[in-house]
């Protein structure tokens, strides 16, 4: 069975600096998708970025980028120029071939002004 591990329960970063959140996963599938979701205090789940496993190029969305290492089964999220609005829980998720999502336990990101 697939598993997703986020080893950092909490991270903090100074405003305007860069922070990297870690995610590792275990799977025997070759075709899958990976996601980072953000959950602010409002509880709303918001998609931050996604990566298709067959694409070697790392996905980027403005200040958010990933470091996808398929062989190492690693999928980290880098947030550049951190802003106060980035404070939230961040969840890594893996989409199986039958479209089920397996979620990590989350990382709480604190932004220090």
Partner 1 sequence: NAGVTQTPKFRVLKTGQSMTLLCAQDMNHEYMYWYRQDPGMGLRLIHYSVGEGTTAKGEVPDGYNVSRLKKQNFLLGLESAAPSQTSVYFCASRVSGANVLTFGAGSRLTVL
Which residues would be at the binding site for partner 1 (CB under 8 A)?
A: 4, 9, 33, 35, 42-45, 47, 50, 91, 93, 95, 99-106
- Looking at beta carbons only, is 82 or 91 nearer to partner 1? 91
Alpha-carbon distances of 100 from 36, 62, 110, rounded to whole Å: 15, 27, 29
**CB of 53: closest distance to partner 1 in angstroms?**
11
Select from 10, 34, 39 the least CA-distant residue to 95. 34
CB of 4 to partner 1, least distance (A): 7
Residue closer to partner 1, measured from CB, 16 or 46: 46
Q: Which two tokens stand for residue 98?
A: 């039958």
Cβ atoms of 34 and 53 within 8 Å: the answer is yes
Q: In this complex, which beta carbon is closest to partner 1, that of residue 51 or of residue 82?
A: 51
């Amino acid at each position: 069975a697939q598993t997703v591990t986020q080893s950092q329960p909490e991270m903090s970063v100074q405003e305007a600096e860069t922070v990297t959140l870690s995610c590792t996963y275990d799977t025997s599938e070759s075709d899958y998708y990976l996601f980072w979701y953000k959950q602010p205090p409002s509880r709303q789940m918001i998609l931050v970025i996604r990566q298709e496993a067959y694409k070697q190029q790392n996905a980027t969305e403005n200040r958010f980028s990933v470091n996808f290492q398929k062989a190492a089964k690693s999928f980290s999220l880098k947030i550049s120029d951190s802003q106060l609005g980035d404070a939230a829980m961040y969840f890594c998720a893996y989409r199986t071939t039958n479209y089920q999502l397996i979620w990590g336990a989350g990382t709480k990101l604190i932004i220090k002004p």
